Amino acid sequence: MLSLLWPLLFIGALLYLAYRRASLGQATLVLGALLLGYTLWGEGGPIWTSILWVLFAPVALLNLPPLRLTFVSRATLSRSSRPRRVSGPKRLSSPTRST
């Protein structure tokens, strides 16, 4: 029965945090607390728990502003600041009918 509770807690927490538009820090804190609880009282083996912590570590590191700026903000801004290809002038006048 407890093995069904943990996925429900994680999914419920993710949905609640998304609904409330929680900040990255709040979401990381809640998910870290859930992961710590799962590590202490969950039924997962040590390999599975280690995999979960390894997957959680990059999310936790994104809370550091220099890393977030380097890996997320600059990469996103560099892609969006590329000049777009212009397809040529558009005709603003209405088309004329030829008979």
Give per-residue pLDDT as tens, 59-90.
898 888 887 777 777 766 666 666 666 565 66
Question: What is the residue extent of each domain of the chain?
Answer: 23-79
Whole-number pLDDT of residue 43: 84
Dist. CA 67–CA 23, nearest whole Å: 16
Confidence (pTM): 0.68
Q: Let me know: does 13 contact 5? Beta carbons within 8 Å.
A: no
Dist. CA 30–CA 96, nearest whole Å: 64
